[in-house]
């Protein structure tokens, strides 16, 4: 590896001040799974009665840890639970050895933490296709257990990093029935999503009490509006995992109709999703793509993702080139319904093209000015119906090539 | 534009010696549609009785010229036909102005060439969204008509270039019933396919006599095995056009069962398709991806294209990194059926992964050696069934970013 990549120019000024969440404690340790001189394992313990919900990669080559989490996520919450994450090795494409590693780690953690093995959730992120030295993790479990602290969430955010250039955290406190309910989350990921070391992992905690099936429905629906609306390079990890834990420690019970809670959770998830894009490999600009007027919301998202994933558009943004023709191209190739002569396009607030033709009012220098900013907004109206969607991505720069053309050497 | 890009390192040593095809003549001219100091319009005249077949972009924002060709391609061949192509302006996303340009050019050409307007096929390639100065083309029609020559095909290949770094031609002569039948074709394109100036245009000529519907079936089927199996950057042009003209001048009639002719045509089409990939923007390596053992041929092609379009794989090839994990990732995300623990992967002839695990015999230096070559071969066996497919692409380099991030400036 040719040295640590520089901090993303889109990184937030600082890591947010995340509150302690009742019923949640953290510990981290340097186990030397692959990295030296940094923490690479984090343990999170969740109090008895915590509801757990999760969303996982749809890859057909998903890792052993993901398969194990999927098996366990619907289980009973009486005993509490634990989340154990290592960076440095993804334990993916490791066949029966991979399954054996997960079995060994979860069995050992269950014993040390005095929890049922079915309540130990693991994630692994790092190189794939190499056997994981899980003994190094197991050897640190007692130490991790002894260090558990309600205040350790920011250290946890650092221990799970791989190619990330900054740790990612977000929090919202919302008042429900006159009582504060806290939500705090951490994430890692800097490609969407490189299988080597840029897997996206997200862990969100709340002290609300939420019934498991309700929690699962919430996180599934909100993922479609947040993490499933971001893309860095159209690639998908074998290990993407999002876990949401509701401890109930606030004493406030949240139902499926509780829009204030849902909105707060959406805010945390979207913030974390945006931070992943802003740490996109080589990213120099953050791009929002807003499509309206499609025949359906699904069509709008198809168009928006075709724009977001087009290498020609992403390179044009990198070059600050107001090349609206490439947006027309992406709409055309997306496969969703479009009528060339009804399409209108804006760069920020500047109308660029109107009903299939360059707008009379458009001056190239206005488009060029918008492209010089760090936050790029493309709006597209298809003029066909009421479908709308918004997605987020970053530009494609020499930095992306440099990071990915020479990653393992 | 920051100067002409250097010749692709994958370019053939020289332009092939293309034979004259009875019934076909060419002329080129410098009309100054956009470029200065080079030819930018080519006219091809086809003798009465020539069968015409075509394949066109499926983009929903396709250009006025493409829509016009699609309307005309099934028409009567008694009078002969003409193909008129300009580079420099794609006449795409130009609304009613675009239709008016095609109408004006085809009407003028019909008059000069004394052909029905329904037999004038046009293509335009270059910047999109700008009105085309079609008067400049019309002003040169008399001159073009006067220059028509059976020997002009290599000049035609040059006149249609945009960002291409070399002209593309291919020929095969096949003996049918003891008589030689000639096939010769030219192509342009160097992204798959940038809408500005890297649209793919292909024109193929034969002196065989082929009934129109037979010719159309042949070219449609062979396109799926050739041009639809290449990708440079997953982007699709608004203007892609392939026209195939069979003049019958050889006196040899070819039927749908004539496998020698079909194989010869496939060879010309595949050669031209490979040349387009080898002129891929920034390409430094040619990549063949061969997938076997899929549940169906369609599944095999889905996996192969997921590998071919993955920015992470294309950058790994650019960096000569034998990163087989990224191939597992691409298979996983493709959406087609795969079982992680049955997948085997080869780099060239080196077995890298076997049934879901790194092969015991694999040494990283063998993989690294294969990646140092200019011709990279990935073989994947899914172990599920008899489906197979082969696709071709190129690597993703700093050159691609440089060309596309600063194209219009």
pLDDT per residue as tens digits for the range B350-404: 999 998 888 999 999 999 999 999 999 999 999 999 999 999 999 988 888 887 7
Interface test with B, best of A283, A308, A329, A393 (most B CBs within 10 A): A329
| A309-313, B180-184, B197-201: least confident range | B197-201
* Cα distance between residue A282 and residue A211, in whole Å: 41
Length in residues, chain A: 409
pLDDT of residue A45: 98
Same domain, yes or no: A301 and A173? no
Residue of A nearest to B126 (CA): A325
Contact between A329 and B233 using a beta-carbon 8 Å cutoff: no
Cβ of A338 under 8 Å from any chain B Cβ?
yes
- Assess if residue B6 is contained within a domain: no
Same domain, yes or no: A260 and A341? no
Residue of A nearest to B352 (CA): A129
CA torsion A190-A192-A195-A197 (nearest 10°) is 10
pLDDT of residue B194: 38
Same domain, yes or no: A272 and A372? no
Cβ of A347 under 8 Å from any chain B Cβ?
no
Residue positions of B annotated with a catalytic role: 199
Interface test with B, best of A98, A312, A384 (most B CBs within 10 A): A312
Same domain, yes or no: B187 and B293? no
Contact between B357 and A94 using a beta-carbon 8 Å cutoff: yes
Same domain, yes or no: B272 and B381? no
pLDDT tens, A261-304?
A: 999 999 999 999 999 989 988 889 999 999 999 999 999 999 99
Same domain, yes or no: B165 and B89? yes
Cβ of A328 under 8 Å from any chain B Cβ?
yes
**Interface list for B 75-114 with A (CB within 8 A):** 92-97
Same domain, yes or no: B249 and B304? no
pLDDT of residue B67: 93
* Cα distance between residue B23 and residue B7, in whole Å: 33
Say if residue B61's pLDDT is above 90. Answer: no
Phi, psi of B224 (to 5 degrees): -65, -25
Q: Out of A238, A311, A319, whose CB is closest to B311? A: A311
pLDDT of residue B409: 38
* Cα distance between residue A125 and residue A137, in whole Å: 13
Chain A residues with beta carbon closer than 8 angstroms to that of B340: 60-62, 93, 95
Provide the shortest C-alpha distance from residue B315 to chain A (in Å).
5
Domains of chain A: total = 2
Provide the shortest C-alpha distance from residue B211 to chain A (in Å).
32
Which of A226, A244, A278 delimits the end of a domain? A278
Q: Which residue has the higher pLDDT, B282 or B45?
A: B45
pLDDT of residue B236: 64
Across the A/B interface, how many CB contacts are shorter than 8 Å? Answer: 220
Cβ of A409 under 8 Å from any chain B Cβ?
yes
Q: Out of B95, B191, B353, whose CB is closest to A341? A: B95
Cβ of B61 under 8 Å from any chain A Cβ?
yes
Chain B residues with beta carbon closer than 8 angstroms to that of A235: 310-312, 326, 329-330, 333
Same domain, yes or no: B58 and B86? yes
Q: Out of A333, A343, A409, whose CB is closest to B59? A: A333
pLDDT of residue B231: 78
* Cα distance between residue A250 and residue A270, in whole Å: 23
Buried-state track A208-236, b at ≥16 Cβ within 10 A, e below 16: bbbebebbbebbeebbeebbbbbbbbbbb
Cβ of B406 under 8 Å from any chain A Cβ?
yes
pLDDT of residue B398: 86
- Assess if residue A3 is contained within a domain: no
pLDDT of residue A31: 97
Q: What is the ipTM of this complex?
A: 0.77
Q: Which residue has the higher pLDDT, B317 or A93?
A: B317
Decide if A199 is catalytic.
yes
Contact between B60 and A328 using a beta-carbon 8 Å cutoff: no
Q: Out of A127, A128, A401, whose CB is closest to B396? A: A401
Tokens of B162: 């945009």
pLDDT of residue A94: 83
Q: Out of A60, A92, A340, whose CB is closest to B93? A: A340
- Assess if residue B8 is contained within a domain: no
Q: Out of A191, A316, A337, whose CB is closest to B405? A: A316
Provide the shortest C-alpha distance from residue A20 to chain B (in Å).
36
pLDDT of residue A59: 81
- Indicate the pLDDT class of residue B237, thresholds 50, 70 and 90: low
Query: Average pLDDT for residues B29-51, to the nearest whole number?
Result: 96
CATH of the domain at A55: 3.60.70.12
pLDDT tens, B1-13?
A: 345 668 899 999 9
Asked whether the CA dihedral A131, A136, A142, A147 is positive or negative, the reply is negative
**Interface list for B 139-178 with A (CB within 8 A):** none
- Assess if residue A329 is contained within a domain: yes
Same domain, yes or no: B274 and B321? no
Q: Which of A106, A199, A226, A292 is catalytic?
A: A199
Which of B213, B247, B278 delimits the end of a domain? B278
* Cα distance between residue A232 and residue A276, in whole Å: 9
- Assess if residue A63 is contained within a domain: yes
Tokens of B67: 């829509």
pLDDT tens, B244-295?
A: 999 999 999 999 999 999 999 999 999 999 999 899 888 899 999 999 999 9
Tokens of A326: 């490439």
Q: What's chain B's average pLDDT? A: 91
pLDDT of residue B287: 96
Cβ of B372 under 8 Å from any chain A Cβ?
no
- pLDDT in single tens digits along all 409 residues of chain A: 345 668 899 999 999 999 999 999 999 999 999 999 999 999 999 999 999 999 998 888 888 999 999 999 999 878 999 999 999 998 888 888 899 999 999 999 999 999 999 999 999 998 878 889 999 999 999 999 999 999 999 999 999 998 889 999 999 999 999 999 999 999 998 754 433 335 789 999 999 999 999 999 999 999 989 988 887 766 666 778 999 999 999 999 999 999 999 999 999 999 999 999 899 888 899 999 999 999 999 999 999 999 998 888 999 999 999 988 889 888 988 889 999 889 999 999 999 999 888 899 999 999 999 999 999 999 999 999 999 999 999 998 888 888 777 654 3
Tokens of B405: 């991030």
Same domain, yes or no: B223 and B307? no
Contact between B357 and A128 using a beta-carbon 8 Å cutoff: no
- Percent of chain B at pLDDT exceeding 70: 94
- Assess if residue A226 is contained within a domain: yes
Which of B278, B309, B325 delimits the end of a domain? B278
pLDDT tens, B101-158?
A: 999 999 999 999 999 999 999 999 988 788 899 999 999 999 999 999 999 999 999 9
Same domain, yes or no: B243 and B372? no
Cβ of A400 under 8 Å from any chain B Cβ?
yes
Highest mean pLDDT among B52-66, B100-114, B310-324: B100-114
Same domain, yes or no: A34 and A97? yes
Domain extent for B214:
24-278
How many of the other CB atoms lie within 10 Å of CB of B346? 21
The answer to whether residues A51 and A211 touch, using CB atoms and an 8 Å cutoff, is: yes
Chain B residues with beta carbon closer than 8 angstroms to that of A236: 329, 332-333
Chain B residues with beta carbon closer than 8 angstroms to that of A196: 323, 325-326
* Cα distance between residue B17 and residue B184, in whole Å: 10
pLDDT of residue B192: 44
CATH of the domain at B388: 3.10.20.340
Chain A residues with beta carbon closer than 8 angstroms to that of B343: 61
- Assess if residue A50 is contained within a domain: yes
**Interface list for B 277-316 with A (CB within 8 A):** 309-312, 315-316
| A384-388, B53-57, B76-80: least confident range | B76-80
Provide the shortest C-alpha distance from residue B333 to chain A (in Å).
5
Length in residues, chain B: 409
pLDDT tens, A105-142?
A: 999 999 999 999 999 999 999 887 888 999 999 999 99
């Amino acid at each position: 590896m040719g040295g640590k990549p520089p901090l993303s120019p889109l990184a937030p000024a600082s890591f947010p001040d995340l509150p302690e969440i009742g019923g949640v404690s953290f510990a981290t340790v340097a186990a030397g799974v692959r990295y030296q001189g940094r923490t690479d394992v984090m343990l999170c313990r969740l109090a008895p009665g915590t509801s757990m919900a999760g969303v996982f990669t749809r890859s057909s080559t998903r890792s052993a840890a993901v398969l194990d989490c999927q098996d366990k996520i619907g289980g009973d919450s009486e005993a509490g639970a634990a989340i154990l994450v290592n960076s440095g090795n993804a334990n993916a494409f490791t066949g029966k050895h991979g399954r054996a590693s997960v079995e060994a780690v979860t069995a050992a953690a269950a014993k040390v933490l005095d929890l049922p093995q079915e309540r130990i959730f693991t994630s692994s992120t790092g190189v794939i296709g190499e056997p994981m030295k899980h003994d190094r993790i197991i050897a640190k479990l007692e130490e991790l257990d002894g260090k558990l602290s309600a205040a350790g969430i920011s250290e946890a955010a650092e221990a799970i990093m791989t190619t990330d250039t900054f740790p990612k955290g977000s929090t919202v406190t919302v008042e429900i029935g006159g009582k504060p309910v806290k939500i705090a989350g951490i994430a890692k990921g800097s490609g969407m999503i490189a299988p080597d070391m840029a897997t996206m992992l997200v862990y969100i905690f709340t002290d609300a009490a939420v019934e498991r099936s309700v929690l699962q429905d919430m996180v599934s629906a909100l993922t479609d509006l947040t993490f499933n609306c971001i893309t860095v390079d159209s690639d998908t990890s074998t290990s993407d995992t999002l876990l949401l834990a509701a401890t109930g420690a606030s004493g406030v019970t949240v139902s499926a109709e509780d829009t204030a809670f849902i909105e707060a959770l959406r805010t945390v998830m979207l913030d974390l999703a945006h931070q992943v894009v802003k740490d996109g490999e080589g990213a120099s600009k953050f791009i929002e793509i807003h499509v309206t007027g499609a025949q359906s919301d699904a069509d709008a998202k198809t168009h928006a993702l075709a724009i977001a994933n087009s290498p020609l558009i992403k390179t044009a943004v990198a070059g600050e080139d107001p090349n609206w023709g490439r947006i027309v191209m992406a709409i055309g190739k997306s496969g969703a319904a479009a009528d060339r002569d009804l399409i209108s396009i804006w760069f920020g607030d500047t109308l660029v093209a109107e009903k299939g033709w360059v707008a009379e009012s458009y001056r190239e220098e206005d488009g060029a000015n918008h492209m010089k900013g760090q936050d790029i907004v493309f709006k597209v109206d298809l003029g066909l119906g009421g479908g709308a969607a918004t997605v987020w991505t970053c530009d494609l720069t020499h930095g992306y090539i440099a990071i990915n053309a020479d990653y393992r050497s």
